[in-house]
Structure formats: C-alpha cells, structure tokens
Amino acid sequence: MLMTARVLMGLIAALHLFIAYFEMFAWETTGPRVFSTFPPELFGQTTVLAANQGIYTAFLAVGLIWAVCITNREWQRKIGICFFAVYPGRRSGGRNHNLASDHDDTNRTSPSCCTLAVAFSAPLTAR
C-alpha cells in the first residue's frame, strides 16, 4: 500500500509539473491549440494569469515530491495531506477563478482524493 501511495503521488506530481510547464512557458504557443474555443487574442492578455497559476501548480508538485521523499511515515502523511487537501482547498475558497486553471480542477481533485484514500488505508508503520 505504501508503494502504491508513493507511485500515485509521484504520478500526480508529474501531472502537476506538466501543467505548470504549460501554464508558465507554453501558454501563448500551445494554449490556442489546446483551448480552440477561446479567442486567440485572449492568450496574450492572460499570460500573467497563466504564469501565476503555473507557479501555484509547480508549488503543489514540489510539495508532493517532498512528501514522497520523506522517510518518516507520519510526516509523509501530514505533508501529503497538506499538499493534496489543505493548500488547494484554501486557494480562493476552494475554486480557482482564472481561465488558466478552469480546465484542470477535476484533474487535481479526483486523483488527489484517490491517492489520499490509499495513503490513509496504509498503516503508519513502514513494512
């Protein structure tokens, strides 16, 4: 169970790193292709918003990577909960309101809940 939780946390961290790259560096180049229903002029106007969201997403990824690397099981669980549940839920009342993040709310919530369930079902003592 512990290995499953770590693998899931690593995968979610990788997803967050990809989203952070997209929001911080590829917003104006790849964004219009990904979000073809948005007007093209919108991407130049929202570059700063997307970069800000990218920093937030990168911070989540770093926190998850940190949680995977911690050897103390109790602290690993606490840090994982912080970066899966507390930090994302505290931002703007639990809902991100800029255009850069509306596409990935479900992508963050569903895997996070599943990984938290696996982490909580694993015993605190390492095997």
pLDDT digits (tens, 9 = 90+) for 12-52: 899 999 999 999 999 999 999 999 999 989 999 999 999 99
Residue 117 in contact with residue 8, Cβ under 8 Å?
no
Classify the phi-psi angles of 94: left when phi > 0, otherwise alpha if psi is within -120 to 50, otherwise beta: left
Residue 100 is predicted with a pLDDT of 46
- Write out the two tokens for 107: 């992508």
pTM of this prediction? Answer: 0.64
Those residues with Cβ within 8 angstroms of residue 118's Cβ, 6 or more apart along the chain or in another chain: 1, 4, 5, 8
- Tokens 């939780």 belong to 5
pLDDT digits (tens, 9 = 90+) for 65-122: 888 888 887 887 777 777 776 656 545 444 444 444 444 444 455 555 655 565 556 5
Residue 110 in contact with residue 12, Cβ under 8 Å?
no
Residue 88 is predicted with a pLDDT of 60
Residue 92 is predicted with a pLDDT of 47
